[in-house]
Structure 1
């Protein structure tokens, strides 16, 4: 039985055509999804962990970056495979495989990871603005709310333009660090030695886990499995095989570029700070100041520009991932701007509280903590992904082979084991250092940790013990109903909102086409003056008097043509007033002209049509002006 699901990111699903293209044009058609994903590997969180690692341990943690990148390459390719072969994203696959309560828990953990990621973008953006324009950090944090408008604009322009914006941001980041490499001139021999693995403990383990969390980001696994579905492919075996090949090429190029940027940041920190005796540069601001004192003004300016570019691009991918996990895990679909604003507000609160209570200097530690939180959530995304892509019943001949499965499970166990070690060390440290808080630790922290551990064991063993028996997923729009004989529909009371624009003629024309001369028509106009909005009742100002005369003119003309029409004036908010009159008149059809707003105007003026549609239980016919 085929598993039902709604399209992931439905507004851009299969929006980029890859068919009837050959050679480089075909490769270029597939390039894009991995670049959006790779942005998460170059965000301000990476900067914080790379700078902390480079300044404290020199080049010794480069091997951690390399291993993290290889793990990321493996897992992102599995994520792309899931999306291409089955046409579902990771959240949708989890919804179909696990019980509702488990999915809710997975959603909460994934949402916390996205908030942690967004927190890093907020801090990075605020720091970048502070370094370039001396803007106070708290104002920079609050200013990041405005990037919601940029996101709406880019998503409205289509997937290709969104990808072009992201790639241009990546180019700025890469060019900035390439230039800085020439300025710093690192020791090539020492850099090569950094690729040799070493022991991890204490602070080096903490930073290493932060690097892993900043590199192998859990929300990117959800994102990649969805973004690959923006490509329209031939669903034959050959078409799927070709799509897997081209997306793997896309992933290799994008993630290796991200690795080079991350390595450049760590090498920059090691060459500029560790080499000069600055061993504890955990703050991005400190890195900026030290770069200026050591190398002059050019390096720190490039540093700040790249920081802003990485933060701005990463916040867009975080929003898309948030939309995917919300729709997939808990079957809730809301407007992208609301989704973006919700995530941003949830991330701004801890940033503002940190600045207010602990000062600007605490943001660096908060940045690294956010990356550790990302790492702690990784197991809950990786384990289901490996199960789903290895399942031959749903993946068929495209299920992962034994070698890939072994490598993937080793990666998962290494990440989970490091996280368990970190959590255990942290809890033991709290018990030893804060004896007065032991009761709270035993009563709250340890049960929560045990519950999360039990959830992790459940999602690991459930598919093994009970096999992957997926159920059809409940889709946001519901299932199609059977169509049989249609009875004729007669509308007796038709309501037609009027705004005295070019839409009026078309709205009235379509209205009378639905009801004919046997129906009665109510023409509605809402007065939106300040007085009307404030009192929400009748006001006889100049605008009201003028609108009443105009509305009566329409009514008289319709009556002269043989139609039964009357006028009603509403006051205050348009949608609320229209709905009130519709209910008073017992209308059984509403005919509305579309206002023609686009994105930004909808934010300022609101979308009356959508609001009315959700507030009434009668049909709404929306007429677009010709």
Structure 2
């Protein structure tokens, strides 16, 4: 199939039979039908050549693990508690790798994204609340992108935050332009921006010269996190910023952009290659997330500035602490790149969620404008009422909201991929299902602890 002519794979019909008996109904149209199967996969050749065709979706997913909301939690955690919360970043990343591998298995093995799977497995009184939960998560994600991008524009060009928030509505044209060129162009743009972000932080880390012994010790888990409610709040925010609900819907749809054959051996290989892709991409995400926290610990915490939670604060303090005006500029560039990247992935996730749950199609630009407007209203309101200092706390709160929505995406994902009736020969191994179930339990337990802390003051 020619990659220049996107469309459905000819060997996989748009209206398939119901499939395994475990599903209540047939799948219907696939995810992102205009890009479905549009990237041809190699049927022969070396493992490396086959992998190249599958590289891409994992990096779009990885964007969600390093969005501007993650910056706020990582900066607050690093400045307040030094390197201690690096262990949470590592644990969150391991959770992400396991959960995203299940998304790959669901998308390829069952031919459904997570939204479609929920619609086809549950009655409406269950699937519609799940859809609402997914929309809340995407709105919280968009809120973080709006604030992060506006702060990036303010730091680099001096644009007032209120105006910057309104300018972010124009990002819809960027998404539309990239979609017109094809899915590979979207992936290339995202990977290029990720490269810029990684380079910016590599230079800043070199300037900060952190305590590498402390960094290594920071990756070791500690029970202190559960004893300190403030530390737990930030830890839960990091989990919410890392294992994001919309990424589970996104990845299970994106893997279907590859044009693999519709037979068991080809699908098994597609699952393996797509899992390698997402694992490599999430390792890059961990590197960048850890770099943000390490930078905050090595500069702000080391200098006694333990209350840095605002992105503009971090930008202002970097120059005097590192003795270079280059550091804050790199910080602003990386932040702006993060906001642009997150815009693309949130748009795709929104399409998958709406089309999958309620089978309602909406033009991508209109869908984007609606979700962006919903996010802009609270961002402008908070900025005008409480001033710029409140944006960091709003970012952290958005990540905690994401964490509270996680069980509503994680539990169905684990249920579906562990069911032989639904997955057939592609059912997840028991050890993988058990690991994912433990992750779901940990997330739910942390959320209950957070709610209890709020209720008891």
* TM-score (ref. length: structure 2): 0.93
Residue segments in structure 1 that go unaligned for 5+ positions in a row: 430-626
- One of 192, 195, 207 as aligned partner of 2:234: 207
Q: Do residues 191 (structure 1) and 215 (structure 2) align?
A: yes
Listed one character per residue, the Cα deviations across residues 523-573 of structure 1 (whole Å, up to 9, x for unaligned) are: xxxxxxxxxxxxxxxxxxxxxxxxxxxxxxxxxxxxxxxxxxxxxxxxxxx
1:5–1:88 CA contact under 8 A, matched in 2: no
The equivalent residue for 1:261 is: 288
The equivalent residue for 2:205 is: 181
2:149–2:335 CA contact under 8 A, matched in 1: yes
In the TM superposition, 1:48-87 aligns within 5 A as 48-87=72-111
The equivalent residue for 2:354 is: 326
1:40–1:4 CA distance, 2 compared to 1 (3 A)? closer
| Aligned-partner Cα distance in 1 for 2:116–2:28 | 7
What SS does the aligned partner of 2:334 have?
Answer: helix
| Aligned-partner Cα distance in 2 for 1:80–1:20 | 19
Question: Whose helix proportion is higher, 1 or 2?
Answer: 2
| Aligned-partner Cα distance in 2 for 1:174–1:233 | 31
What SS does the aligned partner of 2:42 have?
Answer: coil
Q: Which runs of 4+ in 1 moved over 4 A?
A: none
Listed one character per residue, the Cα deviations across residues 315-335 of structure 1 (whole Å, up to 9, x for unaligned) are: 110011111111111221110
- One of 281, 288, 298 as aligned partner of 2:326: 298
Q: Do residues 101 (structure 1) and 125 (structure 2) align?
A: yes
1:327–1:333 CA contact under 8 A, matched in 2: yes
The equivalent residue for 2:145 is: 121
In the TM superposition, 1:416-431 aligns within 5 A as 416-429=444-457
Q: Do residues 18 (structure 1) and 18 (structure 2) align?
A: no
Q: Do residues 415 (structure 1) and 443 (structure 2) align?
A: yes
| Aligned-partner Cα distance in 1 for 2:68–2:352 | 23
The equivalent residue for 2:297 is: 270
| Aligned-partner Cα distance in 2 for 1:27–1:400 | 21
What SS does the aligned partner of 2:37 have?
Answer: coil
Superposed displacement of residue 191, structure 1: 0.6
1:44–1:121 CA contact under 8 A, matched in 2: yes
- One of 403, 417, 423 as aligned partner of 2:431: 403
Superposed displacement of residue 101, structure 1: 2.3
- One of 340, 343, 359 as aligned partner of 2:368: 340
Superposed displacement of residue 277, structure 1: 0.4
Count matched residues: 429
Superposed displacement of residue 91, structure 1: 0.3
| Aligned-partner Cα distance in 1 for 2:298–2:42 | 48
The equivalent residue for 2:158 is: 134
In the TM superposition, 1:357-376 aligns within 5 A as 357-376=385-404
Listed one character per residue, the Cα deviations across residues 132-176 of structure 1 (whole Å, up to 9, x for unaligned) are: 111110010000011011110001111000000000110010010
The structure whose RCO (Cα within 8 Å, separation 6+) is larger is 2
Question: Whose strand proportion is higher, 1 or 2?
Answer: 1
| Aligned-partner Cα distance in 2 for 1:257–1:192 | 18
- One of 364, 388, 413 as aligned partner of 1:385: 413
| Aligned-partner Cα distance in 1 for 2:44–2:383 | 53
Residue segments in structure 2 that go unaligned for 5+ positions in a row: 1-17, 20-25
1:21–1:156 CA distance, 2 compared to 1 (3 A)? farther
What SS does the aligned partner of 1:42 have?
Answer: coil
Q: Do residues 47 (structure 1) and 74 (structure 2) align?
A: no
1:99–1:137 CA distance, 2 compared to 1 (3 A)? same
| Aligned-partner Cα distance in 2 for 1:298–1:333 | 46
| Aligned-partner Cα distance in 1 for 2:96–2:265 | 26
The equivalent residue for 2:13 is: none
What SS does the aligned partner of 2:406 have?
Answer: helix
Superposed displacement of residue 21, structure 1: 4.7
